[in-house]
Amino acid sequence: MDKKIICLFGPQGSGKGTQAKILTDRLNIPHISTGDLFRIAIESKTDLGQQVESILKSGELVPDQLTFDLLKERISQNDCAGGFVLDGFPRTLNQARLLDQYVEINHIVVIDISDKESLKRLTNRRYHVKTGEIYNLYTSPKPSKEIEPELVQRADDTEEAIKTRLQTYHSETEPLFVYYKEKVMHVNGEQSIDKVAQDIAKSLNISI
């Protein structure tokens, strides 16, 4: 594989973050998640963070240009020179067009799971503030008894916000699979983490 700009798509809870981490460890390139960039801005109470906090909480999308500007600033940093794994961007046709004018995505991987599975995984997803690790009370990785009391839920992992996010994924993001055409590869996300990682590696023609 020559260039390494890989974009992961999938409904909320499909395991994009987990798989992005496996890929970035293997390929030695950074994992860029626009959701993470927004959450860092919110935690740091920057102007941007204050601007987007209520949008994230509701599960709506942040305006395209604002999101693209944040992403552009991140991917122009030195560590992205050799490529990166994108998680959560682009999410609309307009964002895809903005990105196209800037870089060319080489590989698109869609991790498919049903809405029912997404809802089940997300309502059980928990976050360990101290370490930043993500756990799941329903799937894996499950937290230990010691860690469980220290876990919190993401503000947008409520049933109402998850439904809004899924609806937006279907109406705004899925049309991108037609836009990117032959670059798109689908992987079944309702398998073990290892099996999903193997299927992604196979579709990218790399070994994990």
Which residues are marked as active site?
A: 16, 91, 125, 154, 165
| Pick 86 or 204: Cβ nearer ligand AMP | 86
Closest by CA position to 37, among listed 84, 69, 82: 69
**Is-contact 37 136, C-beta < 8 A?**
no
Write b or e for each residue in 117-148: b if 16 or more Cβ atoms lie within 10 A of its Cβ, otherwise e: bbbbbbebbbbeeeeeebbbeebeeebeeeee
Q: Residue 158 or residue 198: which is nearer to ligand AMP going by CB?
A: 158
Measured from the CB atom, the residue of 103 and 206 that comes closer to ligand AMP is 103
Query: How many CA atoms, within 13 angstroms, populate the side-chain half-sphere of residue 142?
Result: 5
Strand partners, 126: 135
Structure token digits, residue 27: 């390929």
CB of 85 to ligand AMP, least distance (A): 13
Name the residue nearer to ligand AMP (CB basis): 164 or 198: 164
Cβ nearer to ligand AMP, comparing 60 with 206: 60
Contact 111, 194 (CB under 8 A): no
Q: Which residue is nearest to ligand AMP (CB)?
A: 35
Contact footprint for ligand AMP (CB under 6 A): 12, 33-35, 38, 55-56, 59-62, 67, 88-89, 91, 95, 156, 165
Contact 165, 156 (CB under 8 A): yes
C-alpha to C-alpha distance for 175 and 5, rounded to whole angstroms: 20
Structure tokens at 116: 């029912």
Supply the minimum distance, in Å, between the C-beta of residue 52 and ligand AMP: 7
Three-state DSSP class for residue 147: coil
